[in-house]
Chains A and B, each alone.
Chain A
Amino acid sequence: MTQADIAPSQVQGRPVQHLEKNYINHSSGIASWLLTLDHKRIGLMYLMGISLSFFLGGLFALGIRLELFAPGMQFMDAETYNKVFTLHGAVMVFLFIIPGIPAALGNVVLPLMLGAKDVAFPRLNLGSFYLWLSGAAFFIYTLFTEQLDTGWTFYTPYSSSYSNTAVISATFGVFMLGFSSIFTGLNFLVTIHKMRPPGMTWHKLPLFLWGMYGTAVMQLLATPVLGITLLLLVMETTLGIGIFDPKKGGDPVLYQHFFWFYSHPAVYIMILPAMAVISEIIATFSRKHIFGYKMIAYSSVSIALLSFLVWGHHMFVSSESTLATLIFSAITFTIAIPSAIKVFNWLATLYKGSVSMDTPMLYALEFIWLFTIGGLTGLFLGVLSTDVMLHDTYFVVAHFHYVMVGGTLFAFFAALHYWWPKMTGKMYSEAMGRAASVIAFLGFNLAFFPQFIMGSRGMPRRYADYKPEFELYHQLSTAGTLVLGVGIALIAYNLIRSIFSGAKAPANPWGSATIEWECPSPPPHHNFDHPPLATDPYDMERVEWDEEVKGYVPVVGRRAPVAH
Chain B
Amino acid sequence: MIMRIEALLLAGLCFLGSAAPNFAQEAEAPAAEAPTEAAAPAAKKPIDVDKLIADFNAGQAAPRTFNADEREWIAGGLAPEEVELVYKGHAAIPSGDPNKVIYMRDGEIHEIVSHAKYSTPPVAQNLPPFATEVENGSFWLPVAASETAKSVDAMFNFIMWTSYIFTAIIGILMVVFCIKYRRRPGVRADQSITHNTPIEIIWSVLPTILVAIMFWGGYTTFLDMRTPPPDAMVVRANASQWAWNFVYDNGVESPGEFHVPANTPIEMMMTSADVLHSFHLPAFRQKSDILPNRYTSIWFDSGEPATYRVYCSEYCGQLHSDMYAKLVVDTPEDYEKWLVETGNWMVGEDGELLPPLEIGELTYTRRNCKACHSIDGTKGVAPTFAGLFGSERKFADGSTRVADADYIIQSIREPYSQLVEGYGEQMTVYSPMLPPEQIDGIIAYIKSLKDVPRVD
Contacts and interface: CB of A to CB of B under 8 A. Distances in A.
B177 A353 contact: yes
B207 interface: yes
A469 B131 contact: yes
B317 A333 contact: no
B174 to A, nearest CB: 6
A391 interface: yes
Given A365-B178, A467-B129, A289 B191 contact: yes
B190 A341 contact: no
Contacts of A215: none
A432 interface: no
Contacts of B8: 48
A336 B27 CA distance: 42
Interface string B134-149: 1101011110000000
Given A350-B177, A453-B139, A460-B312, A73 B115 contact: yes
Nearest to B31: A77
Given A288-B190, A293-B195, A385 B217 contact: yes
Interface in B259-278: 274-276, 278
A347 B178 CA distance: 10
A457 B170 contact: no
B362 interface: no
A344 B203 contact: yes
Nearest to A155: B276
Nearest to B289: A318
A90 to B, nearest CB: 13
Contacts of B139: 453
B207 A340 contact: yes
B40 interface: no
Contacts, number: 360
B177 A289 contact: no
Interface in B191-216: 191, 193-196, 199-200, 203-204, 207-208, 211-212, 214-215
A137 to B, nearest CB: 13
Interface residues of B, number: 124
A161 interface: yes
Interface stretch (B56-64, B105-113, B344-352): B105-113
B182 A468 contact: no
A56 to B, nearest CB: 6
Interface in B229-255: 241
A352 B189 contact: yes
Given A247-B292, A355-B181, A393-B313, A343 B193 contact: no
A218 interface: no
B293 interface: yes
A496 B3 CA distance: 11
B9 to A, nearest CB: 6
B174 A325 contact: no
A78 B318 contact: yes
B288 A317 contact: yes
B322 interface: yes
B117 A353 contact: no
Interface in A447-485: 453, 456-458, 460-469
Given A59-B20, A460-B280, A365 B174 contact: yes
Please indicate which of the listed interface residues A319, A344, A365, A467 has the most CB atoms of chain B within 10 Å of its own CB.
Answer: A467
Please indicate which of the listed interface residues B118, B134, B142, B159 has the most CB atoms of chain A within 10 Å of its own CB.
Answer: B118
Interface in A107-164: 140, 143-144, 147, 149, 151, 155, 157-158, 161-164
Contacts of A33: 4
A59 B13 CA distance: 12
Contact of B311 (A291, A317, A355, A458): A458
B214 A292 contact: no
Contacts of A540: 189, 191
Contacts of A325: 222
B52 interface: no
Nearest to A157: B275
Given A246-B292, A383-B155, A385-B225, A369 B174 contact: yes
Nearest to A77: B118
A184 interface: no
A83 B27 CA distance: 9
Contacts of B207: 336-337, 340
B285 A48 contact: no
B81 interface: no
Contacts of B166: 372, 376
B369 interface: no
Contact of A456 (B141, B182, B425): B141
A350 B315 contact: no
B215 A330 contact: yes
A30 interface: yes
Interface string A70-83: 11111111111011
A55 B316 contact: no
Contact of B291 (A319, A382, A496, A499): A319
A52 interface: yes
B311 A460 contact: yes
B93 to A, nearest CB: 13
Interface in B292-323: 292-294, 296, 309, 311-322
B115 A75 contact: yes
Contacts of A341: 200, 203-204
Contacts of A229: none
B101 interface: yes
B222 A151 contact: no
A239 to B, nearest CB: 15
A387 B215 CA distance: 11
Contacts of A424: 2
B286 A388 contact: yes
A499 B1 contact: no
A465 B114 CA distance: 10
A295 B200 contact: yes
Nearest to A299: B204
Contact of A368 (B16, B31, B170, B320): B170
A559 interface: no
Contact of A162 (B119, B193, B226, B274): B274
Interface of A: 2, 24-25, 28, 30, 33, 44, 48, 51-52, 55-56, 59, 70-80, 82-83, 140, 143-144, 147, 149, 151, 155, 157-158, 161-164, 246-247, 252-253, 286-295, 317-319, 322, 325-326, 329-330, 333, 336-337, 340-341, 343-345, 347-348, 350-357, 365, 368-369, 372-373, 376-377, 379-380, 382-389, 391-393, 424, 453, 456-458, 460-469, 496, 499-500, 538, 540-541, 564
17 contacts: A33-B4, A77-B120, A144-B22, A155-B276, A318-B289, A344-B200, A369-B170, A372-B171, A376-B159, A376-B162, A379-B214, A382-B218, A386-B156, A389-B282, A453-B139, A464-B320, A469-B134
Given A286-B189, A354-B181, A389-B285, 4 more contacts: A80-B28, A317-B289, A350-B177, A357-B182
Q: Which 8 pairs across A and B sit closest by C-beta, in order of nearness? A: A458-B282, A383-B218, A384-B222, A385-B221, A463-B321, A288-B189, A350-B177, A460-B313
